[in-house]
Amino acid sequence: MSLLALDAEALYADLVRSIRGLLQPDTHLLGVTSGGVWLAERLQKDLNLQTPMGIISSAMHRDDFARRGMTSSAQTQIPFEVNGAQVLLLDDVLFTGRTVRAVLNELFDFGRPASVKLAVLVDRGGRELPMAADVCAARITLPATQSLALARGQDGRFSFNVKDI
């Protein structure tokens, strides 16, 4: 898929359809700051889920903390019992796998879930760690010199930002 064809709203609709098959009555959504939180909030509403959703930050468990420092993104808020929970982790873009590793470390600081599934809008390849999404709306290839991030407009609609880094 080319960047020109990357329609975040269409991918979100695909993600919703795919996620329905993963959900159990007791599944909790857990959004990775910030794009994953936006996805979790909208899914919670669109799927009329009754279980509490949470926010998880990778900041405290990053292996590049010295280089990146503390980000201004939201801090972890998990309003449900993690021990024994069915968790659906949501993120906007899967790249190296390091953010997923960091948020899993953060999650396990709160307890031991029964299962954790990962859903992402876009898998851009370039993995440095053995991580894979259970659900992915699109797979693309970008040069390592570019970043891809989800953006949310004032109307709540999603789009993508691509930047040279």
pLDDT for 137-163, tens place per residue?
999 999 989 999 999 999 999 999 999
Amino acid 107 reads L
* Token pair 């999650």 in the structure block, residue: 107
Q: Give the percent of the chain with pLDDT over 70.
A: 90
pLDDT in tens, 89-128: 999 999 999 999 999 999 999 999 999 999 999 999 999 9
Instruction: Say what the pLDDT of residue 6 is.
Output: 87
Across 22-50, average pLDDT: 96
Q: Report residue 34's pLDDT band, with 50, 70 and 90 as the boundaries.
A: confident
- Read off the pLDDT of each residue in 19-30 and give the average, rounded to a whole number: 95
The angle formed by the CA atoms of residues 122, 88 and 45, to the nearest 5 degrees, is 85
Residue 58 CB-density burial (10 A; 0-12 exposed, 13-18 middle, 19+ buried): buried
Q: What is the mean pLDDT of the chain?
A: 91
pLDDT at residue 9, as a whole number: 97
Pick the CATH number of 15-140 from 3.30.530.20, 3.40.50.2020, 3.50.50.60, 3.40.710.10: 3.40.50.2020
Q: Are 2 and 142 in contact (CB under 8 A)?
A: no
Q: 74: which DSSP letter? A: P
Domain assignments of the chain as residue spans, ordered by start:
15-140
Instruction: Tell me the residue type at 67.
Output: R
Give residue 165's pLDDT: 86
**Which pLDDT score, from 0 to 100, does residue 69 have?**
53
Cβ atoms of 134 and 143 within 8 Å: the answer is: no
pLDDT at residue 59, rounded to an integer: 86
CA 29/CA 60 separation, integer angstroms: 20
More confident residue, 2 or 117: 117
Q: Are strands 86-94 and 27-32 parallel, antiparallel or unpaired?
A: parallel
Residue 65 pLDDT > 80:
no
Give the CA distances from residue 25 to residues 22, 65, 120, 164, in Å, rounded to whole numbers and listed in that order.
10, 36, 21, 42
Q: What is the pLDDT of residue 74?
A: 74
Q: Is the pLDDT of residue 8 over 60?
A: yes
